[in-house]
Structure 1
Amino acid sequence: MKFNLRVQVFLVFALFAVLLTGGLFLYSRLSFELGFNRYIEQKETSRNANLINALERQYRMAGNWDAFKKNRNYWELFVWQYSANLRERGERPIPFPLPPELNNSPPDDGEPNRFFFHRDTKGKREGDRDRDPKDPEDFLRHQPYKRFILLNEKEKVIAGKKWRNETYLYSDLIINIDGKEQCVGYLGVPMNPALRDLRDNEFAKRQQTHFLITAMVALIIALGCAIPLSYLLTQRVKRLATHVQRLSSGDYQQRLAAKGQDEISTLAEHLNHLAHTLEQTEQARKRWVADISHELRTPLAVLKADLEALEDGVRKFDAKAITRLQKHAARLASLINDLYQLSLTDIGAMSYRKQECDFSEILEETSNSMQDKLTQAGLTLTQHVCKEPLLIFADAERLQQLLLNLFNNSINYTESPGNIKVSLYKEMHSAVFTIEDSTPGVDPELHEKLFERLYRAESSRSRETGGAGLGLSICRNIVEAHAGKISISSSELGGLKVTVTLPLQVSA
Structure 2
Amino acid sequence: MPQTLTRVLREIRRASLTGKLFAAMLVVNVLVIGAMALGARLSFERGFLGYLEQQEIKRLESSVGPLAMAYRDHGSWDFLLQNRSLWHEIMRPYAPASYPVTSHAPLPRLPVSSLIGTNTRFTLLDAKGAYVFGNPAFADTSPRRPIVVDGKTVGWLLMVPFERATEAGDLRFQKTQRESSWIITIAATLLAILTTLWMARALASPLRRIASATHTLAGGDLSARVPTVSSGDIGQLEHDFNHLAQTLESTERMRSALVADISHELRTPLAVMSGEIEAIEVGVRPVSVEAVRSLGGEVKRLSRLVDDLYDLSLADVGALRYHHEQLDVCETLRSALRRSARRLGDAGLTLRVDLPDTPLWVRGDERRLQQVFTNILENALRYVDAGEIVCVTAREDARTVYIDFDDSGAGVPEAMLPSLFERFYRVEASRSRATGGAGLGLPICRGIVEAHDGEIAAARAPLGGLRIAIALPRSTETFRNRRDHE
Same fold (TM over 0.5): yes
**Partner Cα distance (2:263, 2:100) in 1:** 136
- Match for 1:29 among 41, 51, 67? 41
Q: Which amino acid aligns with 1:299?
A: P
Question: 2:206–2:230: 8 Å Cα contact kept in structure 1?
Answer: no
Which residue in 1 is equivalent to 2:84?
none
Which whole-Å CA distance do the structure 1 matches of 2:135 and 2:216 have between them? Answer: 88
| Other-structure match for 1:147 | 144
- The 1-side partners of 2:35 and 2:136 are apart by 45
Alignment of 1:6 onto 2:6: no
Measure how far apart 1:136 and its partner are: 6.3
Change (3 A) 1:422 1:164: farther
- 1:58 aligned residue: none
Question: Which segments of 5 or more consecutive residues in structure 2 lack a partner in the other structure?
Answer: 1-10, 77-98, 105-125, 147-152, 481-486
* Cα distance in 1 for residues equivalent to 2:157 and 2:451: 94
Residue 368 in structure 1 maps to residue 338 in structure 2: yes
On the 8 A contact 1:386/1:426 being kept in 2, the answer is no
Partner of 1:95: 69
- 2:309 pairs, out of 326, 330, 339, with 339
User: Residues 418 and 215 (structure 1 numbering): CA distance in 2 closer, same or farther, change over 3 Å?
Assistant: same
The CA distance in 2 between the partners of 1:44 and 1:479, in whole Å, is: 92
Letter in 1 for 2:438: A
Q: Which residue of 2 aligns with 1:243?
A: 213
Any unmatched runs of 5+ in structure 1? 49-78, 102-108, 115-128, 150-158, 168-190
**After superposition, what is the alpha-carbon deviation per residue over 1:212-258, rounded to whole angstroms, capped at 9, x for unaligned?**
32112100111122233333433432222111111111112233333
Secondary structure at 2:353 match in 1: strand
Contact 1:148–1:160 (8 Å) recurs in 2: no
Q: 2: distance between equivalents of 1:92 and 1:192? A: 26
Who is 1:174 aligned against?
none
1:243 maps to amino acid: A
Say yes or no: does 1:315 pair with 2:285: yes
Q: 1:34 to 1:424 in 2, by over 3 A?
A: farther
Determine helix, strand or coil for the equivalent of 2:471: strand
Partner residue in 2 for 1:306: 276
Query: Paired residue for 2:407, among 422, 434, 437?
Result: 437
Which whole-Å CA distance do the structure 1 matches of 2:250 and 2:154 have between them? 97
Are 2:388 and 1:418 aligned?
yes
Take 1:331 and 1:227, find their aligned partners in 2: how far apart are those partners? 68
Residue 96 of structure 1 and its aligned partner are, at CA, apart by 6.9
User: Counterpart of 2:224 in 1: which secondary structure?
Assistant: coil
1:482 aligned to 2:479?
Answer: no
Q: Match for residue 458 of structure 1?
A: 428
Shift of 1:160: 11
Q: 2:109 maps to which residue?
A: none
TM-score (norm 2): 0.74
Q: 2:355 aligns with which of 385, 398, 409?
A: 385
Residue by residue, what CA displacement relative to the aligned partner does 1:418-465 show, whole Å, maximum 9, x if unpaired? Answer: 111111111221111111112222122221211111111117951222
Q: Please tell me whether the aligned partners of residues 442 and 457 of structure 1 are also in contact (alpha carbons under 8 angstroms).
A: yes
| TM-aligned CA deviation for residue 282 of structure 1 | 1.6
Measured after TM superposition, the shift of residue 309 of structure 1 is 1.8
8 Å Cα contact 2:144/2:159 also seen in 1: no
Match runs of 1:123-162 below 5 Å: 134-135=131-132, 137=134, 147-148=144-145
Please tell me whether the aligned partners of residues 414 and 440 of structure 1 are also in contact (alpha carbons under 8 angstroms): yes
Partners of 1:324 and 1:140 lie apart in 2 by 128
Q: Which residue number in structure 2 is paired with residue 60 of structure 1?
A: none
Which residue pairs with 1:275 in the alignment? 245
Equivalent AA in structure 1 for residue 348 of structure 2: G
Aligned CA distance change for structure 1 residues 111 and 468 (closer, same or farther; 3 Å) = closer
Alpha-carbon distance in 2 for matches of 1:198, 1:428: 96
Q: CA deviation at 1:100?
A: 6.9
- Identify the match of residue 472 of structure 1 among 442, 463, 469: 442
CA 1:446 to 1:165, structure 2 compared with 1: closer, same or farther past 3 Å?
same
Deviations 1:73-104 (A, max 9, x none): xxxxxx9xxx7x569xxx95641746979xxx
**Residue 357 (structure 1) aligned with residue 339 (structure 2):** no
What secondary structure sits across from 1:362 in the alignment?
helix
Matched position secondary structure for 1:421: strand
Q: Is the Cα–Cα contact under 8 Å of residues 415 and 438 in structure 1 kept in the other structure? A: no
Alpha-carbon deviation of 1:7?
Answer: 1.6
Instruction: Decide whether aligned partners of structure 1 residues 415 and 459 sit closer, same or farther in structure 2, where only a CA change above 3 A counts.
Output: farther
Q: Which residue of 1 aligns with 2:89?
A: none
1:490, distance to aligned residue in structure 2 (A): 1.2
Partner of 1:95, secondary structure, is: helix
In 1, distance between residues paired with 2:415 and 2:343? 30
Residues 300-339 of structure 1 deviation map (CA, whole Å, 9 limit, x = unaligned)? 1111111222222222322222222221111111111101
Aligned residues of 1:21 and 1:216 also touching (Cα < 8 A)? no
- AA aligned to 1:337 is D
Query: Take 1:343 and 1:425, find their aligned partners in 2: how far apart are those partners?
Result: 32
Alpha-carbon distance in structure 2 between the residues aligned to 1:334 and 1:394: 24
Q: List structure 1 runs of 4+ shifted beyond 6 angstroms.
A: 98-101, 109-114, 159-165, 191-194, 196-202
SS in 2 for 1:428: coil
Question: How far off its partner does 1:340 sit?
Answer: 0.9
Matches of 1:452 and 1:273, distance apart in 2: 21
| 2:116 matched residue in structure 1 | none
CA deviations over 1:257-286 (Å, ceiling 9, x no partner)? 332434434433332332222222222111
Give RMSD over aligned pairs: 3.8
Distance 1:379 1:162 in 2: 129
- Does residue 1:449 correspond to 2:449, yes or no? no
Q: Quick one: distance in 2 between partners of 1:160 and 1:398?
A: 118
Q: 1:255 aligns with which of 213, 225, 246?
A: 225
* Residue of structure 2 aligned with 1:16, choices 1, 12, 28: 28
Over the matched positions of the two proteins, sequence identity in percent amounts to 34
Structure 1-normalised TM-score?
A: 0.71
1:228 match: secondary structure: helix
Q: Distance in 1 between matches of 2:457 and 2:353?
A: 20
Shift in Å, 1:296: 0.4
Write the distance in 2 (CA, Å) between the matches of 1:454 and 1:160: 119
Alpha-carbon distance, 1:38 to partner: 6.5
| Alignment deviations for residues 454-488 of structure 1 (CA, whole Å, 9 cap, x no partner) | 11111795122211011111111111111111111
SS of match in other structure, 2:392: strand
Partner of 2:196: 226
Whether 1:492 aligns to 2:466 is no
1:190-229 pair list within 5 angstroms: 203-204=173-174, 206-229=176-199
What letter corresponds to residue 446 of structure 2 in structure 1?
A: R
Taking a change above 3 Å as real, the CA distance of residues 164 and 366 of structure 1, as seen in their structure-2 partners, is farther
C-alpha displacement of 1:206: 4.2
Q: How does 1:41-60 map to 2 (within 5 A)?
A: none
